[in-house]
């Protein structure tokens, strides 16, 4: 349910397995309220775009799902957030585990200043409490790189520094390095904003390939991207969800005037 504006997509989502569900989610930075009673249902195995004008709370919502907002110290949250049916706001939740289950990709690729191989194995080794056998690790590296369609380009230079890769390759690597610890949800905050159009299309193609196995929630300002690369769209305005619809529906027959205005570029 997405408040009284519930759309067909959200309605048809009823009964479908949810990757992410929030109810009455409110969030304050100090005394400033950034999210208001946000209810979202992100369906498993789909790509869902989070769209809306600058400052409407897209990053805040995304960051509340794996609780990285809390690092700030002055953030207060009420309501519920579930990832794969688990209440992530429960005090007993182990944050490292949560951030593996809900891995995050940022605007600018941020590989560690290590080799391609060590980037891919970093979380994996932390997770298992040390290095694995050479053959196990080779397998992990190959699988993750193949999943992000990067294996052929880099298989002969796995010891090269990741920071020397092109931006497109770095961003794909930043997605790949989440995979060895088996996330169910991938949270992406404008992952293509530092990329040229060709690299953007390549990353979009990758997202489309990853859907199914992973549930992807992606923030984008690029409406063409939202339209091309997502199954469903959530439109936010001033900290509230206005509309959640199947992408085609939202672009062809938006249910709210504000959605239509935004999509037509009248604001934001
Ligand atoms: N760390 C913070 N401390 C205080 N206020 C913040 C903080 N981060 C964001 N805000 C405020 O919360 C609101 C939502 O910000 P948020 O960054 O989530 O918006 P956004 O939709 O991601 O915008 P953009 O499209 O520009 O990235 C804004 O009014 C912003 O100024
Ligand atoms: Mg943002």
- For 220, the domain range is 3-109+184-263
Q: Kindly give the distance from the C-alpha atom of residue 222 to the centroid of ligand 2, in angstroms, as a whole number.
A: 13
Q: Return all residues near 77 (Cβ < 8 A) that are at least 6 apart.
A: 25, 26, 27, 28, 64, 69, 70, 89
Both structure tokens of 36 = 């208001």
Q: Kindly give the distance from the C-alpha atom of residue 158 to the centroid of ligand 1, in angstroms, as a whole number.
A: 37
Q: Return all residues near 159 (Cβ < 8 A) that are at least 6 apart.
A: 115, 116, 117
Q: Are 43 and 19 in contact (CB under 8 A)?
A: yes
Query: Domains in the chain: how many in total?
Result: 1
Q: Does residue 268 fall inside a structural domain?
A: no
Both structure tokens of 70 = 């809390």
Q: Does residue 217 fall inside a structural domain?
A: yes
Closest residue by Cα to atom 12, ligand 1, is: 34
| Ligand 1 neighbourhood includes 238 CB (under 6 angstroms) | no
Closest residue by Cα to atom 16, ligand 1, is: 57
Kindly give the confidence (pLDDT) of every residue in the chain, 268 residues in length, as a single tens digit, with 9 standing for 90 and above: 333 344 444 444 456 899 999 999 999 999 999 999 999 999 999 999 999 999 999 999 999 999 999 888 899 999 999 999 999 999 999 999 999 999 999 999 999 999 999 999 999 999 889 999 999 999 999 999 999 999 999 999 999 999 999 999 999 999 999 999 999 999 999 999 999 999 999 999 999 999 999 999 999 999 999 999 999 999 999 999 999 999 999 999 999 999 999 999 887 6
Q: Does residue 149 fall inside a structural domain?
A: no
Q: Does residue 213 fall inside a structural domain?
A: yes
CATH label of the domain that carries residue 39: 3.40.50.300
Ligand 1 atom index nearest CA of 53: 25
């Amino acid at each position: 349910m997405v408040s009284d504006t519930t759309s067909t997509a959200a309605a048809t989502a009823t009964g479908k397995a949810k990757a992410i569900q929030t109810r009455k989610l409110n969030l304050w930075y100090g005394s400033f309220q950034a999210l208001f009673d946000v209810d979202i249902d992100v369906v498993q195995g789909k790509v869902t775009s989070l769209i809306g004008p600058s400052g409407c709370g897209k990053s805040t919502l995304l960051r509340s799902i794996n609780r990285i907002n809390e690092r700030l110290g002055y953030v207060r949250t009420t309501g519920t957030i579930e990832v794969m049916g688990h209440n992530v706001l429960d005090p007993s939740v182990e944050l490292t585990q949560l951030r593996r289950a809900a891995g995050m990709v940022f605007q600018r690729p941020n590989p560690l200043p290590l080799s391609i191989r060590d980037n891919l194995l970093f979380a994996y080794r932390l997770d298992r409490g040390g290095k694995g056998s050479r053959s196990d690790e080779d397998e992990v590296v190959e699988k993750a790189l193949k999943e992000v369609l990067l294996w052929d380009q880099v298989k002969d230079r796995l010891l090269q520094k990741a920071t020397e890769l092109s931006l497109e390759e770095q961003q794909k690597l930043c997605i790949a390095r989440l995979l060895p610890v088996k996330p169910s949800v991938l949270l992406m905050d404008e992952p293509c904003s530092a990329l040229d159009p060709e690299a953007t299309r390549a990353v979009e193609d990758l997202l489309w390939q990853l859907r199914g196995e992973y549930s992807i929630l992606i923030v984008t300002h690029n409406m063409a991207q939202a339209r091309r690369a997502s199954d469903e769209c959530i439109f936010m305005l001033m900290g509230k969800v206005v509309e959640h619809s199947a992408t085609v529906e939202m672009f062809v027959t938006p249910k709210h005037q504000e959605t239509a205005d935004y999509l037509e570029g009248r604001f934001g």
